[in-house]
Amino acid sequence: MAPAKTASTCTMETAQGSHVFSICGYSQKRGMGVGKFVRTEFEASAYLRGDRLDIECVVTVMKEPRVSQTKYSPKVAVPPSDITVHLGKLLELKEAADVTFYVGEDTFAAHKIVLAMRSPVFKVELFGPMREAGAQVIPIKDMQPGVFKALLHFIYTDSLPTIDDLVGDDRGEMIRHLLVAADRYAMERLKLICESDLCENLDVQTVAATLALADQHHCASLKDACIEFMPSSSMDDIVATQGFVDLKTNCPSALVDAFVKMSMLNKR
């Protein structure tokens, strides 16, 4: 919310007066004794004319400043942006939907132009030269319906759906799947949100699996966070997880990088 604007003025008022003191017969007043003459040297002054000296004193008195009453600028309350609310309703009500996705046993209606605007991959699939002409139902493979639903929610509202009902690793699993979906559809903001969430919730049971995920989907910050987390935990417990077994089998180079970096960290 913008700060309120106010205005006021401070005016200085003055009172001014003048007094003219004339000395007639100026030459006769010189040398009259202490306190009885005017000691000046104006013989050559332009102000001494016809043996007469005029002195004008101008006095200016500054009065107390006068401060005006504070004026408040007119202000109109502007509500926050609600475009994402309207887009969310558009997805929910399926008004003017022109494409349907088939994910597992579920179908999802959506709007091509919205998807293309948010994802360069969807743009190519829906409007590119390789698009299927007239296709109304598009199958989505290798993705759970709940994950695709969450992806659509983010596309329309720029926020994650409420997943507070998911606890423990179920929530982490959803975030990991969303990261994969974000990478698949080149949605960088969603990908970084998922990375940030996973960084904040690393634990012994999931760090190896998360490291493999970070390596496979080029998440450098998440990968570094996993490597920094490992030395602070029991490596025996980490090695005992299925995630570590999968990491060693599917991403051996990431495991080697991890051990090299951990060795360097230990030497500091």
Domain C-terminal end among 176, 197, 218 = 197
User: What range defines the domain where residue 42 resides?
Assistant: 10-67
Name the 3-class secondary structure at 55: strand
What are the distances in angstroms from CA 234 to CA 64, 113, 207, 213? 76, 50, 12, 21
pLDDT of 43: 53
The 8-class DSSP code of residue 232 comes to: G
Is residue 193 located within the same domain as residue 119? yes
The CATH number linked to 133 is 3.30.710.10
Max CA separation in the chain (angstroms): 125
Is residue 89 located within the same domain as residue 47? no
In contact, 134 and 122? CB cutoff 8 Å:
no
pLDDT of 133: 65
Q: Is residue 1 part of a domain?
A: no
Domain C-terminal end among 164, 197, 230 = 197
Q: Which of 121, 96, 122, 119 is nearest to 109 (CA)?
A: 96
Domain C-terminal end among 172, 197, 222 = 197
What gap in Å lies between CA 47 and CA 58, rounded to an integer? 16
Is residue 188 located within the same domain as residue 114? yes
pLDDT of 200: 92
Is residue 56 located within the same domain as residue 95? no
pLDDT of 186: 97
pLDDT of 219: 95
Is residue 60 located within the same domain as residue 118? no
Name the 3-class secondary structure at 169: helix
What gap in Å lies between CA 24 and CA 207, rounded to an integer? 107
Is residue 206 located within the same domain as residue 193? no
Is residue 107 located within the same domain as residue 16? no
pLDDT of 142: 94
Degrees, nearest 5: CA angle 91-142-179: 65
Tokens of 26: 């100026």
pLDDT of 157: 95
Is residue 113 located within the same domain as residue 215? no
Q: Is residue 174 part of a domain?
A: yes
pLDDT of 35: 58
In contact, 24 and 48? CB cutoff 8 Å:
no
From the centroid of its chain, how far is CA 6? 27
Q: Is residue 77 part of a domain?
A: no
Is residue 223 located within the same domain as residue 183? no
pLDDT of 235: 83
What gap in Å lies between CA 121 and CA 109, rounded to an integer? 18
In this structure, are strands 48-49 and 52-62 parallel, antiparallel, or unpaired?
A: antiparallel
Q: Is residue 107 part of a domain?
A: yes
pLDDT of 256: 84
Neighbours of 209 (CB within 10 A): 21
Is residue 93 located within the same domain as residue 162? yes
Residues 6+ apart with CB under 8 A from 242: 209
pLDDT of 154: 96
pLDDT of 13: 76
Given a cut of 70, the residues of the chain with pLDDT beneath it are 1-4, 25-48, 50, 132-135, 164-168, 265-268
Total tally of structural domains belonging to the chain:
3
Q: Is residue 43 part of a domain?
A: yes
Backbone angles phi, psi at 52, to 5 degrees: -135, 135
